[in-house]
Amino acid sequence: MAKIITRVWTSRGPTGKKIRHVSYGYDVRIDGRRERTVSTEWTTETQAHEALTNRLKDAEHGKVSKPADATLGALVETYLQYKAEKHNRSLREDRRILNTRLLPAFGAELPARRLTEQLIAQYERRRTGQVSVFTVANELTVLRHMLRLGRRWGYLSQVPEIDMPKKPEGRRRYLDETEIGHLLTACGESRNPYLTAITTLALHTGMRKAEILGLEWARVDLSTSRLTLYKTKSGKPRGIPINRAVYDALVALEPDQARREGLVFTRRGGAAWGQIRSAFTKALERAGIKGFRFHDLRHTAASHLVMRGASLKDVQELLGHSMTQRYAHLSPAHLRGAVDRLDGLARGHMNRHKC
């Protein structure tokens, strides 16, 4: 089964105005192998149809494998189209990494089959001297995923082996209660009308910034004091009970129940509020807090939950977090309780020796 596919994206022109681009390609199975090709040179469906027809004719004459000169640039086009069709949340970041880092480094015209382990290793060494290990690992993860799909699509016969740099342990920065008080006071002095409420939600629910800014009133049930998130990083819905601080913050945002519709945090006209980076950074400066970022509010919530007796399982369910073990050191009691369950395990052996 063959079909024509469309890729639509935008870029900014010299004046800063957004320009809409459209390119076409095809998706087809040849000899049981899927091929996806998108080209910026195909600006009409007719061109894509012609390319597909020619590809099918080649296959009829025994040219089953994808041309050996398929370029890395063509693979990137196909990969981004694939991610766009899947509505993948990482599409924007993947496009940035591919177009500003990987393609300039290796060359868009490099045949995909000639991207060797040696070239990738050279890239990894060079980037390690420029940016953090996290950044290098993220870039190589995108490359590895694209190459694995590229092999499936026929762009290359085998995937080069990529040695992934070992990431250091995740950040454990969190605020103590005094710092939390100073931060909320500083947020209250901000010109951003939502900063205090957004920070309060982050501190008391552990929600990610994108989850908070994308929160809709339809997902807020104040009668049962519960939020329901459907657009999450894991893709799995998550229910979040809310405490009094969050309840009061939400009611203060819109006291009239009849007007609670659309996004919780909006500009005039209902558009999404946007980012709060500058306002939050200034609040941190006023509060005298250094080495902290908004995402660390999520770590703060998790850390205080554990220190106040919540189990690691509770934290995992509440935050939708797969790395709760990083907070285990804050609650040695849960290990003590587990070990206590083994009391008496060797009681029979000890009694025999006493006799």
Report the alpha-carbon distance of residue 180 to residue 307 in Å, rounded: 15
Residue 40 CB burial class (10 angstroms; 0-12, 13-18, ≥19) = middle
Sequence-separated (6 or more) residues with CB below 8 Å from residue 194: 253, 265, 273, 276
Q: Is 334 a catalytic residue?
A: no
What six digits make up the tokens of 306?
A: 């554990």
Is 298 tagged catalytic? yes
The Cα angle at residue 237 between residues 231 and 240, in degrees rounded to 5? 100
Q: Which of 233, 282, 293, 334 is catalytic?
A: 233
CA distances from 47 to 4, 41, 63, 68 (A): 10, 9, 21, 21
130's CB contacts (< 8 A; 6+ apart) are none
Q: Which listed residue (66, 101, 204, 298) is catalytic?
A: 298
Catalytic status, residue 290: no
Active site residue 233: yes
- Which of the residues 26, 174, 194, 327 is marked catalytic? 327
Structure-token match 């509770």, residue found: 314
d(CA 177, CA 108): 52
**Which of the residues 3, 125, 148, 295 is marked catalytic?**
295
- Is 353 part of the annotated catalytic residue set? no
Confirm whether 182 is a catalytic residue.
no
Q: Is 243 exposed, middle or buried (0-12, 13-18, 19+ CB in 10 A)?
A: exposed
Element (H, E) at 23: strand 18-30
d(CA 224, CA 244): 12
| Angle, alpha carbons 166-72-58 (nearest 5°) | 135
Active site residue: 127, 204, 208, 299, which one?
208
Amino acid 355 reads C
Catalytic residues: 208, 233, 295, 298, 321, 327
